[in-house]
Amino acid sequence: MMLFEQTLVIVKPDGIAKGLVGEILLNLSLNGLRVTDSVRMQLPQHLVEKLYGEEREEIYFTEVVNWVSSGTVLLLRVEGIGAVSKVKWDIIGRYPNGMRGKYSENWIKNVAHVPDSLRSAERELCLMDDLFREERMKNQKNFQGKMVFALTGMSECGKSTVGKYLDSRGVRRLKIVRLFGKVKERLAPDSNEDLRGWVNKGEASDPYALWDVFLDELLQEMETLETSMASIESLYGGGLGLYLRQRLADHFCIVYVEIPLEIRLQRQMIREGLSDFGQAKLILLPRDEIKAKSGIPALKEIAGEVIDNSGTLEDLYAAVDAMIARYRC
């Protein structure tokens, strides 16, 4: 029987340079594992020496220490059933299997470092624990006294209505697409690529690098607006939501706006002046399919708040008011 475990992943400089972070994160998710802490930094050489301390007598010791400490790496704390074995052998692997089989240049430049036993995982996580804690404290300090709601849900669920009402109650309404636009201006000011394509490419190669800058832009926007509470629309997929929850903890809440399909279709008919459900389905269901593929339904499982929008507008506003009261800083 496999046990619930924690392990460490250090994406090496070659893994970063090759844009393999997105593939690693995807494989972790597909194997039922989740990231609970992350730090992007250049590790000091003395810490890397401790990391590989049990291999000090190996001929490659100096070379691997020099390489891992030579540039930016990404540290991930990963947890789940059988995490140590799954990460070491099923995901990162060894030639000809796993990501090392696909991307390694040699024994040193081989994508990522991962421990090979539960004992090693516990020792290595202990070594890195201060780095993870400092990263958490930094984000908590940056968002001290602030609260961010991320609005999500299926097509025509009422996210915009909730966002507008939150804005009227002093919770400033921010658009995720506008924030990502600022990220693009900052990271790729000369790029002519459309925003969605650029974001998709960034999330496929190194989502944490992209999301770190997104988080900076979110903080700057709240400070510019001099607001302690904000909502962001529209949260798509599970990755960004999980990342923001990991980074901001109690300063972040996913709000899933729920409404049965039949009621959404009825409201679509009224709004578009349609005569039957069939016409409404032709408009709504393809959009639902896109949202389902992007992971929207899964966000309900990790949402801090699920708001029922199947009643009257007054019912919806009352639910939102109650939510604001629970989270007001």
Nearest to 31 by CA among 74, 88, 76, 75: 88
In contact, 121 and 7? CB cutoff 8 Å: yes
Q: What kind and span of H or E run contains 40?
A: strand 34-42
Q: Which of 86, 113, 251, 291 is catalytic?
A: 113
Separation CA 53–CA 11 (nearest Å): 19
Q: What totals of helices (H) and strands (E) does the chain contain, helices first?
A: 16, 9
Q: Count the residues in the chain.
A: 329
Describe the strand order of the beta sheet including 305-308 as a list of residue ranges. 172-175, 229-233, 147-152, 252-258, 305-308
Cα atoms found within 13 Å of the Cα of residue 270, Cβ hemisphere only? 7
* Annotation says 113 is catalytic: yes
Residues near 28 by Cβ (< 8 Å), separated by ≥ 6? 9, 34, 35, 76, 78, 87, 91
Residues near 105 by Cβ (< 8 Å), separated by ≥ 6? 14
Q: Cα(first)–Cα(last) distance of the chain, in Å?
A: 44
Which residues carry out catalysis?
Answer: 113
